[in-house]
Structure 1
Amino acid sequence: MFGLLNKKLTLPTPDEALDGRPDPIPTAQTHAVFGCPLKEPVAEGHEEAIFAMGCFWGVERLFWNVDGVVNTAAGYTGGYTPNPTYQEVCSGKTGHAEAVRVVYDPAKVSYSDLLRMFWEEHDPTQGMRQGNDQGTQYRSAIYYTNGLQQVDAEQSNQTYNALLQEKGLGPTTTELHSAGAFYFAEEEHQQYLHKNPDGYCGLKGTGVACPMPLGLGLA
């Protein structure tokens, strides 16, 4: 999972991206922690959030341990290639980031809570890398799924960016985009650290705490 120094650090254009394939790649049917269908639609009263914070193994574990989160999945999003494989994403030729889909009950955990974890649990200043993992797929990004999430994501970015610079750190490089197609990663990547408890996790924050509440649009 460690990135190599010579990995591509520039996103491809749509014309440069790999062609991909029309059909989804095989993945797990059932969530190994929750026991629910991995691709279960978002139930009424629940919400969906998508975050990219580097290697998706540790990111998925971070969120499945949150009270109020009911489903998670590792996948690829933010690029051009339809239904990419892990190897294709790692080539830097799809434009995708490694990301995690989080389905949650807002009566138990708010989007603001999830954003606080997003900012505190990784380093959003590193551009196309996260620690030893280097490559476009490891970039920091928030993919909002509705207009309220967009407002909250943008405001939290401004707040945390100011806090980082007060501490003498660089500005955030986090991308903020409307959520597009989310492609579920291969079965071996789903709930990886549940199946391999001693496996690699590259998550490491800056040590800068995010204030609560963030003063955002969602409770």
Structure 2
Amino acid sequence: MAFPEDMTGNGFLRFYARYRGMKGEGRMKELLERFELDARGKVKKMSKGMKQKVGIVAAFMHDPAVLVLDEPTSGLDPLMQNRFIELVLEEKQRGKTILMSSHMFEEVERTCHRVGIIRAGRMVAVDSVDTLKAAQVKRYVVTLDSEEAAAQFAAEGLQVERQDRTQVTVLVQNNIQDMIAAMHKYPVTNITAPGQSLEEVFLQYYGGGEA
């Protein structure tokens, strides 16, 4: 959001409130308190984080049905990022539609119902976070009872990411049956499937190519 640098934060917010036809300042004051923002100073003297807070207050204070936000937490500290996430979740509960562009993967994962991934100017995937995760390569960590057994298991022709003593990390795209068949031949003591983050899904779409 572009700000008139010679205005104070409060002056800008009141100007924007009049432009939006707001009748009172209750919601504005509530958001200022929530984000611990003293907006009495000139915008041009504010830090990036303070300007970001002014933008968030301006975006939410007039209670819009639809919000379009571009990197909304850029410049915010972790505490304020978490307060922003709480605000978005509250607005979702109230039935608001929020479109958000962000490279903060935890933020997206915690707030968004559907996610789109853009690569080279094209939308390459659009779905729920859970569905996007399920469609990608899975990582399994298989533990065997000896390093010798682990080495033999790793040589079974599976897509092995790495071997660390008795543990073998296997990547599975679609068919898990080959890994299961190989496991039946060896003394497996444990198998885990670490959860995949949205960032890992994103990197799989971007891997090996130009962003």
**Structure 2-normalised TM-score?**
0.26
Q: Considering only CA atoms, is the larger Rg found in Structure 1 or Structure 2?
A: 2
- Looking at secondary structure, tell me which structure has more helix per residue: 2
- Looking at secondary structure, tell me which structure has more strand per residue: 2
Which protein, 1 or 2, shows the higher relative CO under an 8 Å CA cutoff with sep ≥ 6? 1
**Structure 1-normalised TM-score?**
0.25
